[in-house]
A and B are shown apart, each in its own frame.
Chain A
Amino acid sequence: METDKLLDIYTRILRIRRFEEEVGKLFAQGQLPGFVHLYIGEEAVGAGVCAALRDDDYIVSTHRGHGHVLAKGGDMQRMMAELFGKSDGYCKGKGGSMHIADFSIGMLGACGIVGGGIPVAVGAGLSARTRGTDQVSVTFFGDGAANEGSFHESLNLASALKLPVIFVCENNQYGEFTPAASAMNIKDIAVRAQGYGIPGVIVDGTDAIAMYAAAQEAVARARRGAGPTLIEAKTHRRGGHAEGEDAFLAGQQYLLPEERDAMRRNDPLLKLHDYIVERQLVALETLETLDQEVRQAVADAVAFARASAAPDESILYEDTWV
């Protein structure tokens, strides 16, 4: 792979990581309202897939959506302002963490309903084909969503109509606090693709290079009109289901110690960092400078969000009837 592309993917991962680390801190300090679900540990999926997309391609996201927005090129400042519920946020403070969208970069929205975004992505694929473009549409969703009716209906519909849709299942092995193994009687969600007559591939979702390669193939297939692909990315959510979940759990454990070890071993940021450094593709100082730049961008985003005004009452009645 070209070094530029590698660095591009690395930058996307790094932007997500530093942003999410800051969001976690802010939430713990009680500065962010509502619920927050972090993407830490899963960055290679969004970054690898979005690096294989064009700016005019579509993505649809989940409740764990910050990473997807950033991977598609979203603006940190407007994101952070949205998390604070401020008027300069992407959705003027009306959406919040689970509902960030940026239609200008093809990011059609995060979604608070498990499986809720999948049919929307199929619709975007239908739209692209009907309008005669070669845009593709990606839907990210979790292992939990693969048990929703919307997943099954969408796979079948996209397959029957041969739509340019890439279904990216981020199998982080838990639906909320329920292990995937006890919510389905199969090991690999990718096998469900067979039932709908489309390719189903399994990828190490902590390996950004592998994710990029798998996405490239699926995107090429979709662009040439050959129909959808289901990619199952095996990954981990480092921070659990939601920030502050210890309060929900009240001492109950749901994660096995060996899984914690696996998460540490399979950190997607460190893996790509080591890959780059070991092959001396980029000078270490360059990576460190990049990290400083990203950290500064996150700090700027927080400052921007803090300075942004609270939404005015007039906003309440905007964006209703067209």
Chain B
Amino acid sequence: MPRKTYIAAIQAALAEELRHDPSVILIGEDVRIGVFAGTRGLHAEFGDARVIDTPISELGVAGAGIGAAATGLRPVVDLMFGTFLYLAFDQIANQAAAMRYMFGGQTKVPVTFMVQNGGGIGAGPHHSQAVHPFFMHLPLIKVVMPSTPYDVKGLLKAAIRDDNPVIFLNHLALGGQRGEVPDEEYLIPLGKADIKRAGRDVTIVCAGLMVHHALKAATELATQGIEAEVIDLRTLKPWDEATVLASVARTGRCVVVDESYPVCGGASEWAACISEKAWDHLTAPVQRVSSVHVPIPFSPVLEKMVIPQPTDIVAAVQRIVAQPEPERI
């Protein structure tokens, strides 16, 4: 199977969908040049009408994507950084997340918003936050966060074909990751998690960059005789409760890891659900690992302290694996 980078897999997914469906358009600032390379080369094949450079006007561009989606197109809106979604938030929250419902089902909004989400490259507070919980919170919006080249291709194609608004969160720190990516077409259904590593002792729930940190942590834990199961959610909303709950039923312990903040973050949502629905299987409290609740600092030294690292995950697992089993009566 050919090996590709994460970025090349994004290019492949976009090219395939632009070919597959004439209603797909790509719109955003500098999509021709493709600053993060995901959109590079597409203008040459698909031209001005379908690969559209825009002014720096996030609110307007997002709204245009929504309006185009509501009237028959299937736009991919590239807003570059997750933090730039904040500028488009009104259109996404008040229009994309409401339109179909508040108009009684008269339309659908098949738009995909694509950004680089999260930190780890010293880009400073305005370019490094993991913003996905804001969008997980909204109704009617799907949120996708791929971790590997294989997944990013299959998920992006599925997101574009999905009839709902999708926030598609790539990660800048993963752009150069290499992995096997088939040239032939495949889709990965939204809402389906993937067990990236099987293990009997503890379940680690995560997505995106955190999958790689969790896998590193699992390797370390294995040297201590602890076998961790790493579940890559891939889609954050709707998320694959069934796969997670089945795993927790086997392991009895769970650590949830998310790059966003602890208050109302991704980890909070997963921990709450697991505590509610897998209580009888849990032998220890669910442990959350999130970013420190401050703006993402510029200095790489500080940034590393803020964003969860493999050592933080190892420590969280050790907190609950070290606990004695409760006495069963």
B 112-129 contacts with A by CB, 8 A = 121-127
Interface residues on chain A, size class: 35 or more
Residues of B within 8 A of A316 (CB): 292, 294, 297, 302, 305-306
Q: Is the CB of B59 within 8 A of A149?
A: yes
Of A17-25, A280-288, A291-299, A307-315, the stretch lying at the interface with chain B is A307-315
Q: Of the candidates B54, B55, B126, which one forms a contact with A113 in the assembled complex, judged by CB atoms under 8 Å apart?
A: B126
Known contacts A99-B124, A144-B55, A313-B305; decide if A33 and B35 are in contact (CB<8 Å).
no
Confirm or deny: A114 has a beta carbon within 8 angstroms of a beta carbon on chain B. yes
Confirm or deny: A199 has a beta carbon within 8 angstroms of a beta carbon on chain B. no
Q: Is the CB of B33 within 8 A of A183?
A: no
Known contacts A147-B55, A317-B294; decide if A93 and B299 are in contact (CB<8 Å).
yes
Report Cα–Cα, A148/B297, bound state, in Å. Answer: 26
Q: Is the CB of A178 within 8 A of B300?
A: no
Q: Is the CB of A182 within 8 A of B53?
A: yes
Number of B positions contacting A (CB below 8 A): 38
Report Cα–Cα, A317/B125, bound state, in Å. Answer: 15
Q: Is the CB of B127 within 8 A of A35?
A: yes
Residue of B nearest to A83 (CB): B298
Of A8-16, A201-209, A248-256, A261-269, the stretch lying at the interface with chain B is A248-256
User: Beta-carbon contacts of B40-64 to A below 8 Å, as 1s and 0s?
Assistant: 1000000000000111111110000
Q: Of the candidates B40, B121, B127, which one forms a contact with A250 in the assembled complex, judged by CB atoms under 8 Å apart?
A: B40
Q: Is the CB of B298 within 8 A of A93?
A: yes
Report Cα–Cα, A315/B299, bound state, in Å. Answer: 11
Q: Is the CB of A99 within 8 A of B56?
A: no
User: Beta-carbon contacts of B126-167 to A below 8 Å, as 1s and 0s?
Assistant: 110000000000000000000000000000000000000000
Confirm or deny: B272 has a beta carbon within 8 angstroms of a beta carbon on chain A. no
Report Cα–Cα, A317/B59, bound state, in Å. Answer: 33
Report Cα–Cα, A184/B54, bound state, in Å. Answer: 9
Confirm or deny: B29 has a beta carbon within 8 angstroms of a beta carbon on chain A. yes
Q: Please report the number of residue pairs spanning A and B whose Cβ atoms sit closer than 8 angstroms.
A: 127
Q: Is the CB of A252 within 8 A of B33?
A: yes
Confirm or deny: B30 has a beta carbon within 8 angstroms of a beta carbon on chain A. yes
Confirm or deny: B70 has a beta carbon within 8 angstroms of a beta carbon on chain A. no
Q: Is the CB of B299 within 8 A of A35?
A: no
Confirm or deny: A95 has a beta carbon within 8 angstroms of a beta carbon on chain B. yes
User: Beta-carbon contacts of A148-177 to B below 8 Å, as 1s and 0s?
Assistant: 110000000000000000000000000111
Residues of A within 8 A of B122 (CB): 33-34, 85, 96
Q: Is the CB of A176 within 8 A of B29?
A: yes
Q: Of the candidates B36, B292, B298, which one forms a contact with A33 in the assembled complex, judged by CB atoms under 8 Å apart?
A: B298
Report Cα–Cα, A113/B299, bound state, in Å. Answer: 19
In the assembled complex, 25 residue pairs joining A and B whose CB atoms fall closer than 8 Å, in A order, are: A33-B298, A33-B299, A33-B300, A85-B298, A93-B297, A94-B298, A96-B299, A99-B124, A112-B83, A112-B124, A113-B83, A114-B56, A145-B56, A147-B55, A147-B56, A147-B57, A149-B59, A176-B56, A182-B53, A250-B40, A252-B40, A310-B301, A311-B301, A316-B294, A316-B306
A residues sitting closer than 8 Å to B (CB atoms) are 33-35, 82, 85-86, 91, 93-99, 111-116, 144-145, 147-149, 175-178, 182-184, 248-250, 252, 254, 310-311, 313, 315-317, 320
Q: A115-B56, A176-B29, A315-B302 given; name 10 further pairs at CB < 8 Å.
A: A34-B122, A82-B298, A95-B124, A95-B125, A96-B299, A99-B125, A112-B125, A147-B56, A176-B35, A316-B305
B residues sitting closer than 8 Å to A (CB atoms) are 29-30, 33, 35-37, 40, 53-60, 83-84, 86-87, 121-127, 292-295, 297-302, 305-306
